[in-house]
Amino acid sequence: MKTTLIRSRAALVVLFALASAMPPSHAQQATQPPAQAAAPAVVQGTAPASKPQEPAAAQQLVATPNAATSANVVGAPVAAPSAPEASADSSRSARSLTTGLHELSPWTMFMNADILVKAVMIGLALASLATWTILIAKSIEFSVLRRQVRGGLRKVSGAKSLAEAQLALGSSRNLLASLLQAAIAELRLSQGIHNEAGIKERAASVFTEITRAEARRVRIGMGLLATVGAISPFVGLFGTVWGIMNSFIGISKSQTTNLAVVAPGIAEALLATAVGLAAAIPAVIIYNHFSRVTKAYLELVGRASGVAGRLLSRDLDRNQVGIHSRAAE
């Protein structure tokens, strides 16, 4: 019995010595990473279980420093709360990226584009504005001209002479009136000349000059339409090439291929091509439309020139008949 008590007291002394020696060692372990500090705690927590002969008080003494040590070990890591902060930062960056993509409107891309790309897009926009202006102006012009020529042809359809046709037209100023005036002027200038072929030839020459002048007048603006339709895609492509060059320069400076960095510059560059196509396609369509309208109108002009020539021929024939009748008398 005495031997057992002596052994128990000796074990208690050893345990107290161990307990007094443990905190400095755990303080050193707290400076190590959490994975390395947790291992001794597990070993120390399981060590008293392998000694069932020790008293309960000794086990409590052993468990008390282990609990303190585990608390110190758990509280040691400082970098653990950084994971939620990193996730919050990533979510905020994702939201800002989404907002930036939503704000990538054509106006924003135009405002953020290079100065040369802006100049290209402004020039193309002005060319497109000129195209639509020509469409409106020439549509009104051709409508008025066709109505005047058709109305004049309808009025002189029953006329028998140049004077009667001019009287039927009245004071209207149109192409047919100009042709009739030219025929009457040629007759007046050719008084005393009995060569009908020469008079008709000279009148036909004047009619041709009037017809060509009218054709040149109605073709005003067609050259601009052809130019816009031909070069606008290439001008827009030039702006696109310049913008993509600047985008690649920005990529090389930032040393990143992130879509958020690459996409805006390329989108701004492609906007120039889109503006070029938007200016070229309507210009080509409008040019082809007015080519057909001009051809139809010049056919009406040819009809008017033919009417004036026939009236002149009738007047010449009447004069010739009058001359022959007077000569017979």
Quick: pLDDT tens for 2-49.
555 566 666 666 666 665 555 444 444 444 444 443 334 333 444 444
How far is residue 301 CA from its own chain's centroid? 43
- Residue 260 CA, chain-centre distance (Å), reads 19
How many angstroms separate the Cα of 57 from the Cα of each of 61, 193, 250?
A: 6, 153, 73
Average pLDDT taken over every residue of the chain:
74
Residue 44 · residue 87 · CB < 8 Å: no
Distance CA 218, CA 212 (A): 10
- Cα separation, 162 vs 150, in Å, equals 18
Please report the pLDDT score of residue 173 as a whole number. 80
pLDDT class of 265 with cuts at 50, 70, 90: confident
Check whether 99 has a pLDDT greater than 60. Answer: no
Residue type for position 135: L
Is the per-residue pLDDT at 90 higher than 80?
Answer: no
Say what the pTM is: 0.62
**CA 264/CA 113 separation, integer angstroms:** 9
pLDDT above 70 (res 162)? yes
Q: What band does 294 get if pLDDT is binned at 50, 70 and 90?
A: very high
The secondary structure element, H or E, covering residue 208 is helix 196-218
Please name the residue that has the structure tokens 């020509």.
134
Q: Of 273 and 93, which is predicted with more confidence?
A: 273
Alpha-carbon gap, residue 223 to 91, rounded angstroms:
56
For residue 193, the Cα-to-chain-centroid distance in whole angstroms is: 69
Confidence of residue 223 (pLDDT cuts 50, 70, 90): very high
For the chain, percent of residues with pLDDT exceeding 90? 35
d(CA 130, CA 308): 37
What gap in Å lies between CA 131 and CA 143, rounded to an integer? 18
Question: Other C-beta atoms within 10 Å of 191: how many?
Answer: 7
Q: How far apart are CA 125 and CA 255, in angstroms?
A: 35
Say what the pLDDT of residue 101 is: 46
pLDDT of residue 5: 58
Confidence of residue 171 (pLDDT cuts 50, 70, 90): confident
33: left (phi over 0), alpha (psi -120 to 50) or beta: beta
> How high is the pLDDT of residue 73?
38
Q: What pLDDT is recorded for position 262?
A: 72
Q: What is the pLDDT of residue 14?
A: 61
* Mean pLDDT on 126-144: 95
Q: Which residue has the tokens 């989108």?
A: 267
Closest CA to 226 of 158, 280, 190: 280
Give yes or no for residue 78 having a pLDDT over 80. Answer: no
What CA–CA distance (Å, rounded) separates 316 from 200? 9
